[in-house]
A and B are shown apart, each in its own frame.
Chain A
Amino acid sequence: EVQLVQSGAEVKKPGDSLKISCKGFGYSFASSWIGWVRQMPGKGLEWMGIIYPGNSETRYSPSFQGQVTISADKSISTAYLQWSSLKASDTAMYYCARRQDISTYYFAYWGQGTLVTVSS
């Protein structure tokens, strides 16, 4: 069974750095694209970017390029989303999700979400 397990909720202050994680189980982690999706409170889903853990090829939405860093460590089947300096506007639920296969452009499997709260 494919599972994506995300790290727990975080409460941070503006200017803090943060790295959240997403560990994959039940499939070949290196061979499947993993993406990140933001959902701000009461708002819709936003595609942030996607990474292929096998070679770390990464693609970012223009809206998030330079704002976050997506990475992966295939040796421990884990993908990451990190910020160097958080802002209050980064407060959101963040989901990781696995692309179904290279012939399709959707997320078939989702993590449970990580709630990030940034407040002074």
Chain B
Amino acid sequence: SYELTQPPSVSVSPGQTARITCSGDSLPNQYGYWYQQKPGQAPVVVIYKDRERPSGIPERFSGSSSGTTVTLTISGVLAEDEADYYCQSADTTGIYWAFGGGTKLTVL
């Protein structure tokens, strides 16, 4: 089955920039998507199509893509950004989707 790889954890101080990477073989051909999940809540998409931001998502969230890696960047991190972040994409056929293992963002 299709796999996406993320670091298990990232830690930053408030006001710094957090970068979370996600790698997968199909990412040169498929968009990457990012979800934020806070404890006890359903996931919320924060980036779609590699770099697009849904309405209501703060501008400090941005996305980029290069080869087999997509990156979620959170600029000027706030305490409220502490959460689990999951990348997601599909295989080259679009039939099978997958989530990355998730990255716990800790705001020190």
Contact = CB atoms under 8 A, between A and B. Distances in A.
A106 interface: yes
A45 B45 contact: no
Nearest to B84: A44
Contact of A104 (B31, B37, B86): B31
Contacts of B43: 37, 45, 95, 107, 110
Interface stretch (A13-21, A58-66, A75-83): A58-66
B94 interface: yes
A105 B94 contact: yes
Contacts of B98: 47, 61
Contact of B97 (A44, A50, A100, A111): A50
A44 B42 contact: no
Nearest to B35: A45
Interface in B22-78: 30-31, 33, 35, 37, 42-45, 48-49, 54
A105 B31 contact: yes
B90 interface: yes
A65 to B, nearest CB: 10
Interface centre among B42, B90, B100 (most CB of A within 10 A): B42
A104 B49 contact: yes
Contacts of B54: 108
Contacts of A46: 99
B48 A100 contact: yes
A61 B90 CA distance: 11
B103 to A, nearest CB: 10
Interface of A: 35, 37, 44-47, 50, 59, 61-63, 95, 100, 104-108, 110-113
Interface of B: 1, 30-31, 33, 35, 37, 42-45, 48-49, 54, 84, 86, 88-90, 94-102
Given A45-B99, A59-B95, A104-B49, 14 more contacts: A44-B86, A44-B99, A44-B102, A47-B88, A61-B97, A62-B96, A95-B43, A104-B33, A105-B89, A105-B90, A106-B88, A108-B45, A108-B48, A110-B44
